[in-house]
């Protein structure tokens, strides 16, 4: 009888048949791609595949997982201990050498089961899915005993999954994506079942020693670089890394070191340093840049978490932080940060969405801009666009005064606003240092880079610095209760001083330039300068128009009617 039919008529019998086929193989020989065992696993993977895995840019759907949870196949998988069997398959040293179809299907089965299990074990879903069958205590302990050797095997042979033979047409990074999925879901489940599987100090130590983090970081990096369909689980990678730090901190707090005890305090960065002993820092920085620049799903809390994680990877806490910072500076990160802010600003304006995360995003982006500024000051950045740097610095100054729209104001936002202002002061100081003349007597390549950066920023500032200053002062007048506004404005003045700009001369230039722009937004001279000064509106004395036609249209369609009357009154 075909396995697919057996699976339909009796799932438990089918899984036991699969177990028997696996037990009868001759390890460590390689499996035949068209052999009965491999084909049976393909049929099972087809039934356990969760559509949300492997779909980039689509919100995860739980409907398919819930259908699986309510069916006979799920109950058969749990009662037949399929998860444990799959872990034993992956634990085999020859697993990474097996045919691609076997690797993909084994990982697909485990990913589908863990994804469904995460849904029914998630605290908010337990009441809704209370009837769902989950592994019992004995099965949990058997699973726990397999975690360390299984993930050690994956990490030991992680390079094998980079082989071209592991590519699948249309999805070159699918194996790597599945490794991210199973590692992340298993880490989450271990946290939820921690009291059941690791109730002792030794048990917790063993759990924290599982190589989830190295596999996640390595696989995520190379999956992003390979492209393909991606994986919705990718968006949770920064959260998983932060949760590992939290787990370690919680353990160390609960088990302080005892004098004479041979058990040492666990370092959260140990797993991260293990990654970078085998992963080129240039690759993970490139992966972060690609995700920040290109991924349409990277919005709101996902954007904030990715930028925050990138900043943490650049901290001195890691043994490889110098190499990571140099890799960061070697990437065109300034262009990526500029793309993020432009994209988010347009999205918020167009849909009035995401404002609740706007300040947090600005703060994280400002932190990273400060690191770029540090590299610029040292002449180590690959490329610096002065217009991008000036735009971002001005944007963060504006956000530091303006805050967020009233509907999104909250204590959390105000706290973030203070953090943004602190970040702005540090970042602005670094950029001022980057454009200050060198004190060295002998010119170096670093000085040449600094001169280039200063020229780019200066060229941008000649047309935009004073306009931003006027805007900041206008915001200050509208928010006169804001005691922080003068400090923010002083940051902007500091940049002007570092660029050797004269405020009086820039004001005259600004006024002359403004006099040659038409106030009607649809006019060609709204952004391009006319040959001479344009006529002022006689009503308000502020707006300027190149023709009576533009003035009439702005009055009727552009909202100048209300503004003009308000100014006159």
Angle, CA 334 vertex, CA 333 and CA 340 arms, to 5°: 90
Condensed to tens digits (0 to 9), the pLDDT of residues 208-218 reads 999 999 999 99
Q: Which residue, 88, 44, 89, is CA-closest to 68?
A: 44
- Classify 259 as helix, strand or coil: coil
What whole-number distance in Å separates Cα of residue 293 and Cα of residue 66?
34
Residue 119 CB neighbours (<10 A) = 21
Considering Cα of 533, then 537, then 540, then 543, what sign does the dihedral take? negative
DSSP assignment of 190-210, as one string?
HHHTHHHH--SHHHHHHHHTS
Q: Report yes or no: 120 and 137 within 8 Å, Cβ to Cβ.
A: no
User: Stretch 75-86: mean pLDDT, rounded?
Assistant: 95
Q: 536 forms bridges with which residues in the sheet?
A: 544
Residue 424 half-sphere exposure toward CB, CA atoms < 13 A: 32
pLDDT band at 56 (very low <50, low <70, confident <90, very high): very low
Which H/E stretch holds residue 4? helix 3-9
Is the pTM of the predicted complex or chain greater than 0.95? no
**Upstream peptide bond of 28 is cis (omega within 30 degrees of 0):** yes
Question: 249 vs 195, 245, 311, CA distance in Å?
Answer: 17, 6, 19
Q: What is the DSSP string of 441-474?
A: SS--HHHHHHHHHHHHHHHHHHHHHHHHHHHHHH
Q: Which whole number is the average pLDDT over 34-51? A: 90
Residue 565 confidence (pLDDT) above 80:
no
Hey, is 380 helix, strand or coil?
A: coil
Q: Which of 23-27, 481-485, 513-517, 544-548 has the lowest mean pLDDT?
A: 481-485
Scanning the structure block, which residue is given the tokens 């001759």?
26
Whole-angstrom distance, CA of residue 39 vs CA of residue 3: 8
128-142, 212-226, 268-282, 358-372: which has the minimum mean pLDDT?
Answer: 128-142
The overall average pLDDT reported for the chain is 86
pLDDT tens for each residue of 217-239? 999 999 999 875 667 788 899 99
Task: Give the per-residue pLDDT at 216.
Answer: 97
Q: Find out whether 151 and 210 touch, Cβ atoms under 8 Å.
A: yes
One-letter-per-residue 3-state SS of 504-561: HHHHHHHHHHHCCCCCCCCCHHHCCCCCCCCEECCCCCCCEECCHHHHHHHHHCCCHH
Domain extents in the chain? 280-438+445-514, 525-569
Cα–Cα dist 153/95, whole Å: 9
Q: Which two tokens stand for residue 514?
A: 């403004």
Whether pLDDT at 13 is above 90:
yes
Q: Is the pLDDT of residue 534 over 60?
A: yes
């Amino acid at each position: 009888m075909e396995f697919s039919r057996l699976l339909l008529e009796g799932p438990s019998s089918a899984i036991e048949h699969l177990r028997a086929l696996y037990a009868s193989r001759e390890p460590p020989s390689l499996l035949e791609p068209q052999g009965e065992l491999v084909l049976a696993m393909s049929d099972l993977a087809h039934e356990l595949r969760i559509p949300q895995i492997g779909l980039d840019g689509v919100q995860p759907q739980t409907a398919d997982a819930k259908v699986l949870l309510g069916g006979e196949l799920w109950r058969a998988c749990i009662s037949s201990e399929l998860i444990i069997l799959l872990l034993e398959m992956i634990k085999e040293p020859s697993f990474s050498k097996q045919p691609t179809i076997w690797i993909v299907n084994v990982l697909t089965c485990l990913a589908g089961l863990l994804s469904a299990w995460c849904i029914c074990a998630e605290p908010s879903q337990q009441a809704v899915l209370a009837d769902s069958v989950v592994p019992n205590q004995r099965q949990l302990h058997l699973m726990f005993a397999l975690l360390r050797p299984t993930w050690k095997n994956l990490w030991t042979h992680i390079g094998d999954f980079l082989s071209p033979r592991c590519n699948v047409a249309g999805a070159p990074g699918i194996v790597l994506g599945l490794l991210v999925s199973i590692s992340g879901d298993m880490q989450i489940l271990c946290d939820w079942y921690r009291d059941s599987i690791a109730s002792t100090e030794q048990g917790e130590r063993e759990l924290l020693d599982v190589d989830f983090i190295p596999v996640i970081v390595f696989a995520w990096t190379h999956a992003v670089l390979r492209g393909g369909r991606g994986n919705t689980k990718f968006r949770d990678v920064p959260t998983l890394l932060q949760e590992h730090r939290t787990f370690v901190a919680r353990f160390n707090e609960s088990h302080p070191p005892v004098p004479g005890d041979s058990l040492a305090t666990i370092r959260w960065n140990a797993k991260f340093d293990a990654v970078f002993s085998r992963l080129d820092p240039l690759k993970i920085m490139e992966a972060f840049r690609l995700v920040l620049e290109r991924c349409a799903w990277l919005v709101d809390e996902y954007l904030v978490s990715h930028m925050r994680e990138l900043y943490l990877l650049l901290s001195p806490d890691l043994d490889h932080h110098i190499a990571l910072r140099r890799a960061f500076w070697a990437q065109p990160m300034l262009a990526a940060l500029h793309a993020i802010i432009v994209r988010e600003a347009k999205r918020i304006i167009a849909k009035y969405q995401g404002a609740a995360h706007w300040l947090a995003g600005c703060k994280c982006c400002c932190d990273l801009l400060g690191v770029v500024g540090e590299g610029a000051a040292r002449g180590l950045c690959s490329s610096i666009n002065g217009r991008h740097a000036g735009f971002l610095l001005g944007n963060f100054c504006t956000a530091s005064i303006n805050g967020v729209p009233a509907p999104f104001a909250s204590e959390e936002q105000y706290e973030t606003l203070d953090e943004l202002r602190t970040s702005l002061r540090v970042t602005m100081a670094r950029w001022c240092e980057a454009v200050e003349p060198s004190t060295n007597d002998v010119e170096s390549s670093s000085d040449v880079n600094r001169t280039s950066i200063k020229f780019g920023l200066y060229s941008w500032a000649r047309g935009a610095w004073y306009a931003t200053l006027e805007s900041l002062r206008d915001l200050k007048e509208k928010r006169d209760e804001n005691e922080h506004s003068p400090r923010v404005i002083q940051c902007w003045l500091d940049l002007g001083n570092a660029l050797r700009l004269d405020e009086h001369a820039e004001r005259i230039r600004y006024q002359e330039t403004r006099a040659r722009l038409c106030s009607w937004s649809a006019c060609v001279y709204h952004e391009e300068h006319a040959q001479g000064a344009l006529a002022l509106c006689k009503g308000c004395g502020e707006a300027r128009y190149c023709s009576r036609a533009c003035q009439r249209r702005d009055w009727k369609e552009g909202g100048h009617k209300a503004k003009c009357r308000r100014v006159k009154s």
